[in-house]
Amino acid sequence: MNDSPGTPDSPSTRDGRAVAPPTPPAPARRPAKNQPTKATKAAVGAKGAAAGRSRAKKAAGATKQSGAGPGAAGTRTRGIGSRSPTGSSSAAAPPEPSVDGSIGGGAIDPGPTPSGGPWRGGPRRRLTLYDRGIQTANERWPVVPRSLARLFRHPDLVLALLGKRAAVERDGRVLNRSTQALVELTNRFGREPDGSPEAARRYDPVLMRTQLRRAARAVMPVRTDVHVTGRVVPRPNGAPDMGVRIYRRFGSGLGRRRRDLLPAIVYFHGGGWVTGGLDTHDPTCRILASTSRCLVVAVDYRLAPEHSFPAAVDDALAAYAWVHRHTGELGIAEGQVGVMGDSAGGNLAAVVAQETRNGGPAAVADLPPPVAQGLVYPVADVRFDTESMETLGDGFLLTRDTMEYYRGEYLPHRADWETPRASPLLAGDLSGLAPALVVTAGFDPLRDDGANYAEAVRMAGVDVEYRCYDDQIHGFMVMGVLSDSLALTTEVCDSMGRLMRRSAPKGPLA
């Protein structure tokens, strides 16, 4: 038997058999630097579990207080949409509101109601400071408006780059700095030089409508807590039917009981009777419906020069009559219909209020006048001989030349300028009109139009609330890219809702 040990490079032998040397123990593994140990992981896990139980209790309590369903408590709001705790898309989130082109009869479908209320994402509301204003979970900001909003958050920098550091002052009023930056950028880059081939098409109505529609998409956020439906309304004298767009806030006016019925606002868009439409004022109408808690009916009236005066007035009266005659179908509280408009739309709203008070044409002879009227920087006198038109008629986006062009297309016959249907300020009797909210802007050529009309109806014994936003320009209601303008738009819409509720006959409103 060979008892000699084997060589280091070969296995040892025992009884003629090879025996492998014992395996040395593996060295102890040391945790990597900054890597948690098992004890640390256990402590973190216990802490996370306790925090999870605490969040669950809070969510359950919020659900119990708000009356929401059990599924809403576990939903978190992220941006615009909502996601479940597992990260998957929540099935309870409502679809994006769409414009339905249906023309049939029957009740308007108010659309699905998100769980927990009209804000997407359940009962929890996520408010984020945004551009000195509020961006909410029910606003969708396309890329361009969001980028512009960030740009106008620093107006002093923009004005410095443009070489326009000095503040703009007129009649003791100082222009808002963000608005000044927008005006300077538009005047510098948004207008064709006089005498250029492009300037010759500056007043092409088709081109103007296209540009305004594109601009509206670029400067306004879109609220998503409003359900939108399209309908068709017959026009007088056998003219082709016109479209209307109906806005209803999610969760409002869903039933047919009296307390479920909504007051309604018939809205006429601005644009000098030549431009504008349902698309350009869609974001504004969404804000109005959501903030005022009223059903909003936007009217696509005929435009000049294809249809000159009084086509727009006839369409406005026809739309008002249609809303009144379909209150039950639309879920509108009986007799609680108001009118509202901006710029040229404010002119039409004032005319409708006067025509229905006087009995008006056959289309509205048997209908009551509106319970309230909202006139936002309205055209009250198309003669344009006011002081504000002289001092502010150039340099603030809306110019005297543009207004005279609009007047020439809409009112080609000078004899019509002084009729109350064209210039409501010139009506002989202004008594008995609906309570009015009149809003003007300090740097608007039409400022004196609104101020004079408010004073005239006040002297006639009408209840008037007049506001002049001294640091704003014409059109601020469609400039949501500026945080101050967006806040003022919301304020005006809220004031209109309050006026509707204050002026309506006694009874529960939504």
pLDDT in tens, 227-267: 999 999 999 888 899 999 999 998 776 555 556 799 999 99
Q: Which pair of tokens denotes residue 199?
A: 């300037």
Residue pLDDT, tens place only, 401-421:
999 999 999 999 999 999 999
Q: Tell me the three-class secondary structure of 456-497, residue by residue.
A: HHHHCCCCEEEEEECCCCCCHHHCCCCHHHHHHHHHHHHHHH
Phi, psi of 336 (to 5 degrees): -110, 65
Active site residues: 343, 444, 474
375 strand-pairing partners:
341, 438
Whether the per-residue pLDDT at 285 is higher than 60: the answer is yes
pLDDT of residue 45: 63
Return the percentage of the chain with pLDDT > 70, whole number.
67
CA dist 335 and 116 (Å) reads 31
Q: How confident is the model at residue 366 (pLDDT cuts 50, 70, 90)?
A: confident
Residue pLDDT, tens place only, 292-306:
999 999 999 999 999
Residue pLDDT, tens place only, 458-492:
999 999 999 999 999 999 999 988 989 999 999 99
Find the distance separating the first CA and the last CA of the chain, reported in whole Å.
108
Q: What is the DSSP track for 59-72?
A: HHHHHHHHT--HHH
Whether the per-residue pLDDT at 4 is higher than 60: the answer is no
Higher-pLDDT residue of 107 and 40 is 40
Whether the per-residue pLDDT at 371 is higher than 60: the answer is yes
CA dist 383 and 414 (Å) reads 9
| Stretch 150-157: mean pLDDT | 88
Higher-pLDDT residue of 135 and 174 is 174
Whether the per-residue pLDDT at 19 is higher than 60: the answer is no
Whether the per-residue pLDDT at 117 is higher than 50: the answer is no
Most confident range (mean pLDDT) of 17-21, 38-42, 405-409 is 405-409
Contacts of 303 (CB under 8 A, 6+ apart): 205, 209, 271, 273, 274, 275, 276, 277, 312
- In angstroms, the Cα distances linking 400 to 194, 392, 405, 411 are 16, 8, 9, 16
Mean pLDDT across the chain: 79
Which of the residue ranges 152-161, 245-254, 386-395 would you say has the lowest mean pLDDT? 245-254
pTM of the model: 0.73
CA dist 487 and 35 (Å) reads 50
CATH architecture of 225-503: 3-Layer(aba) Sandwich (3.40)
- In angstroms, the Cα distances linking 471 to 216, 389, 433 are 21, 17, 30
CA dist 103 and 101 (Å) reads 6
Cβ atoms 370, 447 nearer than 8 A: no
Distance of alpha carbon 476 from its chain centroid, rounded? 12
- Specify the DSSP class assigned to residue 120: T
pLDDT of residue 6: 45
Contacts of 14 (CB under 8 A, 6+ apart): none
pLDDT of residue 62: 52
pLDDT of residue 362: 72
pLDDT of residue 150: 83
| Stretch 270-283: mean pLDDT | 96
Q: Nearest CA to 326 among 259, 252, 231? A: 231
Q: How confident is the model at residue 90 (pLDDT cuts 50, 70, 90)?
A: very low
pLDDT of residue 20: 56
Residue pLDDT, tens place only, 332-350:
998 899 999 999 999 999 9
| Stretch 420-431: mean pLDDT | 96
Place of tokens 């594109």: 214
pLDDT of residue 147: 73
CA dist 314 and 316 (Å) reads 5
Cβ atoms 344, 212 nearer than 8 A: no
